[in-house]
Amino acid sequence: MKKTVLAFSRISPAMVERLEAHFDVIVPNPKAGDIAAQFNEALPKAHGLIGAGRPLGRKQLADAALLEVVSSVSVGYDNYDVGYFNERGIMLTNTPDVLTQSTADLAFALIMSSARRVAELDAWTKAGNWKASVGADLFGTDVYGKTLGIVGLGNIGAAVARRGHLGFDMPILYSGNSRKPDLERELNAQFRSLEQLLAEADFVCLVVPLSDKTRHMIGAAELAQMKKSAILVNISRGPVVDEAALVQALRDGTLRGAGLDVYEKEPLAESPLFELGNVVTLPHIGSATAQTRDAMAYRAIDNLTAALLGKRPQDLVNPQTFKG
C-alpha cells in the first residue's frame, strides 16, 4: 500500500503527478472550503508533509501519528520545532543552495534601490512632481566603491559579496561565527566583529538564520553604531532586526535608509515602515522567481521521496532521526 503525502502549501499539478508515482497525494483545495480544516482532517493519514510557510510543532502535529518526514520548500526552518521533531523521530529536510543566486540578486536589488531611492522617486515621478531637474533633496548615494558589510558569510552572503566585489569594486567586510579563509583570499574580504562592521560599512546586509542568538541582534544600540549615511538590508528573517528600533532610526535620521524583504510579522498588511520614504519594502520574495521556486519544490520532492522510500535525504536537517 502506498504511503500518503499531504501538501501544506500549493504545489503544481506536475509536482503532484511526480509524487503520485510513489505515493497517494492530498492537496487541500481552496475551492473545497477552509484549507486549515482540510489539512487537519488529512493529517492523521499523512506519512509525509511537503510545503512552506506553516508553523509545525507539538500542537500542530499532535494527530500526525504516522508522520515520518516534513519536507520544507525553504532554506530556513525556524517555522519548525526541531526539538519536537527529534523527540518524535520525524525527519526534517530543507532546500539549500538552489535559491542562493536569486536571493543574492534580490539583496543587490535592495542595495541599489535603497541607495538610489528607486521606489521613492518612481512614486514621486508618477505623482506628477517632475517639473524640473531634481535638487539635492532627492539625490541618492553611490554604490560603486562603497564598503559592503555582510553579517553571515554563508553561501548567500558570499554570492552577495561577489556581486559587490567583482561588479562594484566594493571592499568587503564580514562578521560571523567563523573565519572564511578561502573567501578572504578570493574577495579580499576582511573579518570584523559585528560592532566593527557596523561602524565601518556603508551598506550592512543581514544574511543569518533566525535563532535565539540572532533574534533582535540588530536593535537600537546596534543601529546607533552604524554611520548615519549607511543603509541596512535584511534578506534573512524579520526578527533578526528590532523593527520598532529600526522605524525610529529611520525616522530620526540615525540611519539613511533600509531595504527589507522580511519582517517580524508576515504577511505585513500595515506598518509604520510604509509611511517612510527612506525604506524599500518587499513581500518576502528572495526566492520568488519561477525557475527558483520550481527548483526548490523539486528538491523538496526528491528529499521527501528518499525519506519515505527508506533512503537518506540529501538535505536532512536532523540526521539523528534517520533510521536507515
- Please write the tens of the pLDDT for every residue from 157-167: 999 999 999 99
How many CA atoms within 13 Å lie on the side-chain side of 214?
19
Q: Which of 117, 237, 256, 293 is catalytic?
A: 237
Active site residue 165: no
- Please write the tens of the pLDDT for every residue from 108-146: 999 999 999 999 999 999 999 999 999 999 999 999 999
Residue 10 has a pLDDT of 79
* Spatial distance between the Cα atoms of 315 and 300, rounded to a whole number of angstroms: 9
Q: Which of 116, 215, 216, 284 is catalytic?
A: 284
* Spatial distance between the Cα atoms of 209 and 237, rounded to a whole number of angstroms: 7
Residue 244 has a pLDDT of 98
Instruction: Give the residue among 118, 117, 162, 116 at the shortest CA–CA distance from 142.
Output: 116
Domain with CATH 3.40.50.720 in the chain: 4-96+290-321, 100-281
Q: Which of 87, 195, 266, 275 is catalytic?
A: 266
What confidence category does residue 25 fall into, taking pLDDT thresholds of 50, 70 and 90? very high
**CATH code for the domain defined by 4-96+290-321:** 3.40.50.720
Say whether pLDDT at 21 is over 90.
yes
Active site residue 264: no
- Please write the tens of the pLDDT for every residue from 51-91: 998 999 999 999 999 999 999 999 999 999 999 999 999 99
**CATH code for the domain defined by 100-281:** 3.40.50.720
Q: Are 177 and 153 in contact (CB under 8 A)?
A: no
Say whether pLDDT at 250 is over 90.
yes
Mean per-residue pLDDT of the chain: 96
Active site residue 237: yes
